[in-house]
Amino acid sequence: MKITGADHTSFTVSNLEQSIAFYVDNLGFELLYIRPEIKNNYFRAIIGWPDAVVKGAMLAIPGTSHQLELFEYVHPRGVAADVRTNNPGSAHVSYFVDDLHAFYAALSTKGVRFRSPPVALDEGPNRGGFALYMLDPDGITIELFQRG
């Protein structure tokens, strides 16, 4: 047995509408659908919360068939996790961009939070490229990567 592909990445967010706006307006994702109240028995069994009520959305990621799923737990409400990059359990997703410097400049005018400006990759397998980390409204790390 082995993994045969990838379907989606999912983030739990504190405010679904705010997160949808962030990913659509800033990163160009396409909203596929919103589920205003998920409380199916199978869903509750999968996530391990028998009385959960969740709002969800699925977004298409430009240039790929991979999708981004966003969940807001209405019940039970969660607490913000410490998702700083050095903490075990934190994760990030990386997205390709054609011109990182121009994208960074455009996002900077919108108040997007960054860990750094574009950094030149001057050694290793990605030499000649540029990368940065940015944060979504819940502090989830997103890497933007321009190939060399």
Q: What is the pLDDT of residues 124-146, one digit of tens each?
A: 999 999 999 999 999 999 999 99
pLDDT tens for residues 31-63? Answer: 999 999 999 999 999 999 999 999 999 999 999
Are 29 and 64 within 8 A, CB to CB? no
So what's the pLDDT on residue 109? 97
So what's the pLDDT on residue 114? 98
Do the strands 92-96 and 141-146 form a parallel or antiparallel pair, or are they unpaired? parallel
Q: What is the mean pLDDT of residues 7-29?
A: 98
Q: Which of 64, 65, 84, 66 is nearest to 135 (CA)?
A: 84
So what's the pLDDT on residue 145? 98
So what's the pLDDT on residue 9? 97
Structure tokens at 75: 């019940």
So what's the pLDDT on residue 127? 97
pLDDT tens for residues 81-118? Answer: 999 999 999 999 999 999 999 999 999 999 999 999 99
Strands (E) in 1-148, as ranges, are: 8-12, 30-38, 53-60, 67-75, 92-96, 113-114, 119-120, 130-135, 141-146
The position carrying tokens 């994760």 is 91
Per cent of the chain over pLDDT 90 is 100
So what's the pLDDT on residue 15? 98
So what's the pLDDT on residue 11? 97
* Cα separation values, 97 from 43, 50, 91, 129, Å: 34, 40, 20, 11
